[in-house]
Amino acid sequence: MGHIALELKVATERDRAVWDAAVCQDPGGSIFHTWAWLTTTAAFSVKRILGRPCRAELHPLMVYRGQELVALYPVFVYRHPLLVAAVSGSYDDQMMYLGPVTPAARLMRNRKRESLGFELQDLCDAYLRETLHCRCIVVRHTPWSCADSRPWLRNGYTVIPAHTYVFDLAFGSAVIWEGFGKEIRQNVRILEKRGVEVDNGDISDFAAIHRQLGNRGRMGVPFSFFETLSRVLPPEQLQFLVLRDGGTPVGGTSLLVWQGRMHLWVGFPAVPGSVRVNDLLLWRSIERAEEMGCRLVENMGADDETTIRFKKRFNPSLVPYMTYRWDAPAIRLGRSAAQFLREVRG
């Protein structure tokens, strides 16, 4: 049998079950790839391009070879009269990473898996650049997927490294506990004796965290986005913890649970006097993950200077992943000129 070329289709609501099943089949799939998450983000995501707000268009691409579904490639497109941009994964939308999912790749031989990567990127680039006329494309690739950057490099993308922190529960939480610094372990015990508690919360408890982050310029997504997610996601996939000191809420976090991974998502606000109290909150999150049978805990993001100091105290492992960016020649020229002017102005 000769080589069968890849074919692309844009998924619709009727493809939801097939889409979500494919996300579950790929170890690189994430909760951000699920149909519920993508459609919720599409309803709320707005990006400013050249000073103008542009709403998101979701393009959930399904790629087939014959009758076999070999890849998913979700992309959000933002249209400005002077520029069309495509984004797959965005910090601004609290979607830490996205990119392609290839459920069949894990069963392929290495050479076929590598060939699929090149062919897939060529097909999707042709759709984005020639059909949709995108002049800027950004893909934040999941840390749990293939790390082969060559398909993007060959197609003119710039590779930008990113990082996140993880705790491996393969040997139990006791091993993670012993990896904490002595001062953290002592502080957790003091807080427990003082009666500081970590309780189950709900979306109403998360409202205070959202407000605090917004007041500090660290939250650009409306609270209604989180409210919608809390309705459309199963409760076991989106959970909330609240930290109480003397009955008063002093912190909290949201937890995403997906395929044996727990992700510490949005939370841990920098409330004066509560940073050390958050030691207990992080430890309780790890205990919760172990109780749920998770094999890994991700404390999401390790590139923000304002949070690295707190996160690295717990001795997590650093995991790299990649962001890929392509700009049309005119866009690259404009960005270079803008950078030059900023440097000249000092």
Q: Give the pLDDT confidence score for residue 336 in this predicted structure.
A: 63
Residue 40 shares a structural domain with residue 62: yes
Residue 193 shares a structural domain with residue 222: yes
Amino acid letter, residue 101: V
Is residue 222, in this structure, part of any structural domain at all? yes
Residue 133 shares a structural domain with residue 116: yes
Task: Please choose, from the candidates 190, 184, 200, the residue with its C-alpha nearest in 3D space to the C-alpha of residue 279.
Answer: 184
Write the DSSP assignment of 23-64 as a string of letters: HHHSTT--GGGSHHHHHHHHHH-EEEETTEEEEEEEEEEEEE
Strands 296-299 and 261-267: parallel
Q: Give the pLDDT confidence score for residue 342 in this predicted structure.
A: 53
Find the CATH number of the domain harbouring 176. 3.40.630.30
Write the DSSP assignment of 111-160 as a string of letters: HHHHHHHHHHHHHHHHIIIIIS--SEEEEEB-TTS----HHHHHTTPEEE
Residue 193 shares a structural domain with residue 140: no
Token representation of residue 278: 């958050």
User: CB–CB of 252/240 below 8 Å?
Assistant: yes
E strand or H helix at 6: strand 6-10
Is residue 107, in this structure, part of any structural domain at all? yes
Q: Give the pLDDT confidence score for residue 230 in this predicted structure.
A: 97
Calculate the alpha carbon distances from 23 to 128, 145, 203, 264, 324 in Å: 22, 12, 26, 20, 21
Residue 262 shares a structural domain with residue 183: yes
Is residue 118, in this structure, part of any structural domain at all? yes
- The whole domain housing 291 covers 165-315
Q: Whole-model pTM?
A: 0.93
Task: Please choose, from the candidates 180, 138, 137, the residue with its C-alpha nearest in 3D space to the C-alpha of residue 162.
Answer: 138
Residue 58 shares a structural domain with residue 145: yes
Residue numbers of the chain with a pLDDT score lower than 50: 270, 274-275, 340-341, 343-344, 346
Burial of 8 (0-12, 13-18, 19+ CB in 10 A): middle
Is residue 20, in this structure, part of any structural domain at all? yes
Q: Give the pLDDT confidence score for residue 269 in this predicted structure.
A: 64
In percent, how much of the chain has pLDDT > 90? Answer: 77
Residue 101 shares a structural domain with residue 243: no
Is residue 81, in this structure, part of any structural domain at all? yes
Tell me the three state secondary structure of residue 95. strand
**Start-to-end CA span in the chain (Å):** 62
Token representation of residue 299: 């404390």
Residue 182 shares a structural domain with residue 141: no
Residue 205 shares a structural domain with residue 335: no
What is d(CA 33, CA 333) in angstroms, rounded to the nearest whole number? 33
Residue 148 shares a structural domain with residue 60: yes
Query: How many domains, in total, are found in the chain?
Result: 2
Is residue 169, in this structure, part of any structural domain at all? yes
- pLDDT tens digits, one per residue of 108-129: 889 999 999 999 999 999 999 9
What is d(CA 216, CA 288) in angstroms, rounded to the nearest whole number? 28
Residue 84 shares a structural domain with residue 152: yes
Residue 12 shares a structural domain with residue 82: yes
CB atoms within 10 A of CB 229: 21
Is residue 49, in this structure, part of any structural domain at all? yes
Is residue 1, in this structure, part of any structural domain at all? no
